[in-house]
Amino acid sequence: MRRRPWHVLLVAVAVALGAGCGVADPGPAGEADPPAAGEGAGLPATVVRVIDGDTIRVEARGFETPVRLLGIDAPETRHPDVGEECFGAEATARLKRLLPEGARVRLETDPSQDARDRYGRLLAYVYPAGRDGPAGSVNHDLVRTGHATVYVFRDPFMRLDAFRAAQAEARRAGRGLWGPPCFGATRGARREAAVGAALEGAGRAGTSRHRKPRRFAIAREPGLYAGRRRVVCLSLARPGRYVL
């Protein structure tokens, strides 16, 4: 049997690879490739589990990958410094209701943003089956119901205006984290513990029948503290008594 010259075999392999016969690259660390940047670019996926209020794991193209919901920030449930933030558990529970295990979704990246963040999570809008458009994503839903806030990392994302409008509506209506017990102050410990620490050494003033008692806080530690009427920032750089 006559053998073909080795250079002919190399040409045949090159032609096959050029025709797309090679093995597809599964992406970093064996994870699914992100969808191509551009409007309408989508990646079908299945929800594996919800990690917290703005992060999930999905299976796509035979691989698992973490997904960070783009354009939003939900309160933490396991913050390295303060543990659970105000409304963190509620935000996670909401996302679990919207994206139960096994749910089929479509992931879309944003051409104005990186495909993945520094932790290797895919940055995407997450769409349940049958939903589309700027207001159709789970990301937008969490902002609209007050379970997350709008988050811009570096450059504005394409659907920022729609997200900001949803946030303004939720804030006016006092939905979710914009109402009690957080009143928009999710950073740090839950409100009850935060106010308790802030009121160390507090006193009451103005007890006459023409003036309602006021609660004061002394800035022992920096941070945001929520009172009955407003949120104040206590700073060690500007010590003093603040009306809550």
Write out the chain's pLDDT in tens, 244 residues.
454 454 444 444 343 334 333 323 334 445 555 544 344 558 999 999 999 999 999 999 999 999 999 999 999 988 777 778 999 999 999 999 999 999 999 999 999 999 999 999 999 999 999 999 999 999 999 999 999 999 999 999 999 999 999 999 999 999 999 999 999 998 754 444 444 444 444 444 333 344 443 443 443 444 454 444 444 444 333 344 434 4
Question: Does residue 237 share a domain with residue 117?
Answer: no
Q: How far apart are the first and last CA of the chain?
A: 93
Question: Does residue 78 share a domain with residue 128?
Answer: yes
Q: Please indicate whether residue 84 is annotated as part of the active site.
A: no
> Could you tell me if residue 90 is inside a domain?
yes
Question: Does residue 170 share a domain with residue 60?
Answer: yes
Boundary of a domain, candidates 154, 177, 200: 177
Question: Does residue 231 share a domain with residue 123?
Answer: no
The CATH number for 159's domain is 2.40.50.90
Q: What pLDDT shows up at residue 41?
A: 55
Question: Does residue 127 share a domain with residue 201?
Answer: no
Q: What pLDDT shows up at residue 36?
A: 44
Q: Which residues pair with 29 in a beta bridge?
A: none
Q: Please indicate whether residue 154 is annotated as part of the active site.
A: no
> Could you tell me if residue 36 is inside a domain?
yes
> Could you tell me if residue 198 is inside a domain?
yes
Question: Does residue 139 share a domain with residue 219?
Answer: no
Answer whether 0.85 is exceeded by the pTM.
no
Determine which one of 106, 116, 121, 159 is catalytic.
121
Question: Does residue 146 share a domain with residue 239?
Answer: no
> Could you tell me if residue 8 is inside a domain?
no
Question: Does residue 147 share a domain with residue 123?
Answer: yes
Question: Does residue 164 share a domain with residue 232?
Answer: no
- Pairing verdict, β 122-128 and 63-69: parallel
Question: Does residue 149 share a domain with residue 197?
Answer: no
> Could you tell me if residue 67 is inside a domain?
yes
Q: What pLDDT shows up at residue 186?
A: 86
Owning domain of residue 115: 31-177
Cis-peptide, bond into residue 128, ω within 30° of zero: no
Question: Does residue 215 share a domain with residue 132?
Answer: no
Q: What pLDDT shows up at residue 105?
A: 98
> Could you tell me if residue 9 is inside a domain?
no
Distance CA 165, CA 76 (A): 23
Determine which one of 31, 76, 90, 108 is catalytic.
76
> Could you tell me if residue 118 is inside a domain?
yes
Question: Does residue 124 share a domain with residue 230?
Answer: no
Boundary of a domain, candidates 152, 177, 202: 177
Q: Please indicate whether residue 68 is annotated as part of the active site.
A: yes
Boundary of a domain, candidates 126, 150, 177: 177
The angle formed by the CA atoms of residues 158, 161 and 167, to the nearest 5 degrees, is 125
> Could you tell me if residue 5 is inside a domain?
no
Residue 207's Cβ-side half-sphere holds a number of Cα atoms within 13 Å equal to: 3
Q: Mean pLDDT of all residues in the chain?
A: 74
Number of independent structural domains in the chain:
2
